[in-house]
Amino acid sequence: MRIVTADEMRALDRTAIEEYGISGLVLMENAGARVVDKIQNLVGEIKGRSISIFIGKGNNGGDGLVIARHLLNRGARVKVLSIVAAGEIRGDAAVNLDIWRKMGQKIYPIHQDDGINIVKLALVKTDLIVDAIFGTGFHGPMRKEPGRVIRVINKSGKQVIAVDIPSGLEAGSGKASEPCIRAHQTVTLGLPKLGLYLGQGPNHTGEITVADISLPAVLVNQRAAPRYLLTAERVKKWMKPRPLSAHKGSFGRVLVVAGSRGMTGAASLTGQAALRSGAGLITIGVPETLHNIMEGKLTEVMTVPLPDTGRGSFSREALPRILSLLGNMDVLAIGPGLSQGPETVELVRELLPAVKLPLVLDADALNALAGEVNILGNLTTTAVITPHPGEMARLMGVDPKNIQEDRVGRAIKAAADWNVVALLKGARTVVATPDGTVYINPTGNPGMATGGSGDVLTGVIASLIAQGLEPSHAAAAGAYFHGLAGDLAVREKGMMGLIAGDIISALPMAARELFG
């Protein structure tokens, strides 16, 4: 499913109107009807329900008027409250205002000084609130008059459904004004908007439903940017069925080079995650002084001792041994718990250009490239890099705040500049490919913000590559799969107690949910 900015959505709407002959009124009618369908699903019987609909002067307000009409027709008690004078409502929204009035209904103006009292009185007996104030055209800061209305709505304790996007949230960045609607449900129209998933968006949207408003699929496929919201359907298309005649060698061989003194857990989590994600054979290379520890930690994963500095970290002398091991592998995952000792950094910098297999680079493998990031651009194989914002900032030589302010843009730049698949971790992981394709992952939850979660993701991605997925698809599918496992685990464990091992344990359940 494509995911768009506000400008891109407006361009698609305009093209649908001007080139395909679908009037704005039809699009508005479809939008309103789909929101009413969602309300019906949520509350059941609409007849007799008291519903307050807050509108502004633009198309979002017009959607709200369509919603009001359909709800009234189904027997609801509807109040439409406008943050602007009726005379300011223009275009298709004004047409729907005229219809509403011809039905003998009124609008309650709340833009005047006493308007807030009207709001408070209306909400006393309201069962449901519909936010159709600003839509995707909003850019902060919030003005005083609508701001005080939004504060009352947020404090009301009533269920709120936002139309397209919560009022006060910027559709392109996810930046939220103060105040901003905190919706329980958001019905986004046509295509999902970036701001619903980035920045502060997840704090304000509640459950998101994407409503079909009859935009021609050919228009979306031809004109929308190659930016996708990951879905289960897309991930399933990338996965290959397992033949009945398969054996362990059929599902790939992963080499993990990871761990150092005090960080053997990172290597263990990566290997176990790769195994639980379906790869057939996993080998973990660790510093030889830690090998006995790893042998005790792991049963189903093979381990190999590699030359050690004597301080529990990899020596540069491990290089030929790693290259020898790669001759029988399908992918190399390197970095979790590796340490940043000078010999280990040197090893990483010499090893990567010599690798011919797909690479998954995480944690200290990325830190080893800070100041030498040109190594990535000169690789002879496809690499997936999986930095968190701090690691991406070190690679790019910028402040982490700059990464978070433009997560999509930074991921795109990294992928293009370094010719890698760039997976930027964090709430709503972003995956960008060198050709400009972007995937936004909707799965996952705050409970996954725990030590080792990133090591699990590295193992999942490496496993999917070993099983035959293209590295870009493996990165995107891995992010979705990893987040889904976290979502399943949190149902049982709760967010506060979730640990990385719980995510690994839930990976088979996530696979079952995806593939049956």
Range of the domain at 270: 232-515
Q: Which residue has the higher pLDDT, 249 or 508?
A: 508
Question: Number of H helices and number of E strands within the chain?
Answer: 21, 17
Tokens for 326, please give them. 């790669």
Task: Answer yes or no: is pLDDT of 379 > 90.
Answer: yes
Task: Clarify whether residues 170 and 296 are in a common domain.
Answer: no
Mean pLDDT of 160-177: 96
Query: Would you say residue 325 lies in a domain?
Result: yes
Task: Clarify whether residues 241 and 217 are in a common domain.
Answer: no
Tokens for 501, please give them. 């091992």
Task: Answer yes or no: is pLDDT of 248 > 80.
Answer: no
Task: Clarify whether residues 301 and 445 are in a common domain.
Answer: yes
Task: Clarify whether residues 273 and 190 are in a common domain.
Answer: no
145 vs 281: CA distance, rounded Å: 63
Query: Would you say residue 1 lies in a domain?
Result: no
Mean pLDDT of 389-412: 94
Burial of 295 (0-12, 13-18, 19+ CB in 10 A): middle
Task: Answer yes or no: is pLDDT of 516 > 80.
Answer: no
Question: What CATH code is carried by the domain that includes residue 24?
Answer: 3.40.50.10260
462 vs 361: CA distance, rounded Å: 10
Query: Would you say residue 486 lies in a domain?
Result: yes
**What are 433-444's pLDDT values in tens digits?**
999 999 999 999
Burial of 102 (0-12, 13-18, 19+ CB in 10 A): exposed
Task: Answer yes or no: is pLDDT of 246 > 80.
Answer: no
pLDDT of residue 62: 98
Task: Clarify whether residues 153 and 15 are in a common domain.
Answer: yes
DSSP secondary structure code for residue 143 in this structure: P
**Phi/psi at 514 (5° precision):** -75, -45
pLDDT of residue 42: 92
Q: Last residue of some domain: 205, 225, 245?
A: 225
Q: Last residue of some domain: 225, 253, 273?
A: 225
Mean pLDDT of 388-405: 94
Task: Clarify whether residues 201 and 313 are in a common domain.
Answer: no
pLDDT of residue 180: 97
Task: Clarify whether residues 165 and 287 are in a common domain.
Answer: no
Query: Would you say residue 17 lies in a domain?
Result: yes
Q: How many CB atoms lie within 10 A of CB 140?
A: 13
441 vs 407: CA distance, rounded Å: 13
**What are 98-119's pLDDT values in tens digits?**
999 999 999 999 998 889 999 9
pLDDT of residue 435: 95
Query: What whole-number percentage of the chain has pLDDT above 90?
Result: 94
pLDDT of residue 57: 95
Task: Clarify whether residues 398 and 335 are in a common domain.
Answer: yes
Burial of 108 (0-12, 13-18, 19+ CB in 10 A): middle
Partners of 208 in beta bridges = 186
Task: Clarify whether residues 195 and 332 are in a common domain.
Answer: no
pLDDT of residue 241: 79
Task: Clarify whether residues 441 and 511 are in a common domain.
Answer: yes
Query: Would you say residue 449 lies in a domain?
Result: yes
Task: Clarify whether residues 337 and 390 are in a common domain.
Answer: yes
Task: Give residue 51's pLDDT band: very low, low, confident or very high (50, 70, 90).
Answer: very high
Work out how many domains the chain is built from and give that number.
2
Question: What CATH code is carried by the domain that includes residue 494?
Answer: 3.40.1190.20
**What are 213-239's pLDDT values in tens digits?**
999 999 999 999 999 999 999 999 998
Query: Would you say residue 146 lies in a domain?
Result: yes
Task: Clarify whether residues 247 and 107 are in a common domain.
Answer: no
**What are 109-158's pLDDT values in tens digits?**
999 888 999 999 999 999 999 999 999 999 989 999 999 999 999 999 99
pLDDT of residue 242: 80
Query: What whole-number percentage of the chain has pLDDT above 70?
Result: 100
**What are 417-459's pLDDT values in tens digits?**
999 999 999 989 999 999 999 999 999 999 999 999 999 999 9
Query: Would you say residue 363 lies in a domain?
Result: yes
Task: Give residue 515's pLDDT band: very low, low, confident or very high (50, 70, 90).
Answer: confident
CA distances from 378 to 108, 137, 383 (A): 64, 43, 11
Mean pLDDT of 167-193: 96
pLDDT of residue 114: 87
Q: Last residue of some domain: 225, 242, 273?
A: 225
